[in-house]
Chains A and B, each alone.
Chain A
Amino acid sequence: MRGIERLARLGVDVAARRWPRDVADQLRYEWRAELVALRDDPGLCRSARAYRMIMFAGSLAVSPAVEAEGAEPVDRPPALLAPAVAAGVLLVAAAAFNVVHAVGYRSGAVAGFLLAAALLGMGALGYHVRGPAVTWTVSMGAAMFAFLMAGNAVAVMPFMGWRDVLPGVAVWTVTTVAAVRVARRHRVLGVLAGVAGLEVAAIAGSLHAASVVKAGLVTAPAWFPLALLPGGTASFGPYFADGRAAFGALHGSGPAFHASDILLGNVSAMVGPMLLCSAFGLAVAVRRAPFRVPVPRYDLHVPLGVGATVAVLVVAEWLDRASVDIGSALSRVVDNSNVFGFGFLAGMSGRIAVALVAGVLVGQLAVSRRARAAG
């Protein structure tokens, strides 16, 4: 119990530090007194006391503090909004990039046009929503890690383990947060920093793959731009004339290919969605508009949110039934026609998570629109 109490005290101390100076010390003292009362409550069993102490401190630690006295009230986004926005933006970005690459296999010019359109679309989306750009970028990084790991549980991409995803996503998150901070003051510098971050993230996320397929590191600066182009634009590394190869868990055969085809296909799965997420995050930062909590007049957001949740579940079921043979995975990697893995939609928990994200976002969107219409 002593450890739990210490943890709870740490929680209320951390929470109090975020409050304005005129009330922080009193509140810390008050909350510590309440923790002692919970610890000594004779009406509760030992585990219930520990649970309530942790809940008491945890709720304070994750809740926003009040503004300083005399300051304008600051509206803060609901707690669930950041992860929902992050997951929603990432899924939209991944789906958009998959479409770009599927088209790019057939027509590079159309793919270039579509990629530009997707970038503009994500930028416009970011420019029109109000929110904390840094928090959302960090959340997007976390969502990216989770979805890339979950989406490739069945190996569509040969190099999508933690040794590939973790460095790539970590570097993207850190560099994009820095770019977002810069973009608030200098738009052009922020965008340049974002592009540089993508370049470094692509290299960090592909070092392991490059060492396995024996692609020379001298080509590393070209990985990011080449990953955005149709497969076969540039070739390097060992040549597999008979199309046979085994990389990690992936074994297969198909047309002849270079190691670079595998490497760049793998890079695409990571940096394509990253690129579109960067556009969104930088646009949010450039706008610098504070979040305003919308006030709904009608409860349409609830049925709309539930409707979106059900719709995603139905679409996921349809996609699952229409899914193609996973045995053709290697050839699809080679031609870059299949990038970001949506394998998490195969499992019920993944579907429910995505459906809930859609429900929260559509519900929030309905509230925002209603509030805007109400003036």
Chain B
Amino acid sequence: MGGPRMTSSVLRVVAALLADASAERYGLQLMQATGLPSGTLYPILIRLERAGWVVSRWEQVDPAVEGRPPRRYYRLSSEGEIEARREVALMQRQMARAMRPAGRVREA
């Protein structure tokens, strides 16, 4: 299964999920954590799920008792956590390289 195309928005979602990899989050929480609008977030979540990086499950509640429909929760899969850490680390290295002063780049 191919990995998702990494864009800054995908990285934000991945980083938000990595903040506590074992925690489950629903869409509105991820929108708050990433600052992304719903129209950007949900396509990313679907693509991450198809790539096997994210798994989702429906909340186990009785809508009649709770007075609201169940929500869908997302978290990183074990494979997704490894890949996500790798991508975030790669991005951090690239950022560090870009921020390095020109003189030090030449020395390297």
Contact = CB atoms under 8 A, between A and B. Distances in A.
A62 B69 CA distance: 25
A59 B68 CA distance: 23
Nearest to B44: A66
A69 B38 contact: no
Interface of B: 5, 26-28, 37-40, 42-43, 46-47, 50, 68-72
22 contacts: A23-B46, A27-B46, A29-B69, A30-B27, A30-B72, A31-B38, A33-B70, A34-B27, A34-B28, A34-B38, A34-B71, A36-B68, A36-B69, A37-B71, A55-B37, A60-B38, A63-B38, A63-B39, A63-B40, A63-B43, A65-B43, A69-B50
- State the majority secondary structure of interface residues on B: helix
A37 B38 contact: no
A356 interface: no
Contacts of B38: 31, 34, 55-57, 59-60, 63
Contacts of A30: 27, 71-72
Contacts, number: 56
Contacts of B39: 15, 59-63
B26 A34 contact: yes
B68 A33 contact: yes
Residue with the highest number of chain A CB atoms closer than 10 Å, among B46, B50, B71: B46
Counting chain A residues whose Cβ lies within 8 A of the other chain, the interface size class is 20 to 34
A73 B28 CA distance: 26
A61 B38 CA distance: 10
A40 B66 CA distance: 12
Given A30-B27, A55-B37, A59-B38, A66 B43 contact: yes
A108 interface: no
B45 to A, nearest CB: 10
List the 9 closest pairs (A to B, CB-CB), nearest first.
A63-B39, A59-B39, A59-B37, A33-B69, A30-B72, A59-B38, A66-B43, A33-B71, A36-B68
Nearest to B49: A23
A38 B42 contact: no
Interface in A270-319: none
Contacts of B28: 34, 37-38
Given A57-B38, A63-B38, 19 more contacts: A29-B69, A30-B72, A31-B38, A33-B68, A33-B71, A34-B28, A36-B68, A37-B26, A37-B68, A38-B28, A40-B68, A55-B38, A59-B38, A60-B39, A60-B42, A63-B40, A64-B43, A66-B43, A73-B5
Contacts of B37: 55, 59, 63
Interface in A57-86: 57, 59-66, 69, 73
A26 B43 contact: no
A211 B72 CA distance: 63
Interface string A38-57: 10100000000000000111
A63 B72 CA distance: 20
Contacts of B69: 29, 32-33, 36
Contacts of A33: 68-72
A34 B38 CA distance: 10
A36 B69 CA distance: 8
Contacts of B47: 66
Contacts of A26: 72
Nearest to A15: B39
Nearest to A20: B46
Contacts of A31: 27, 38, 42
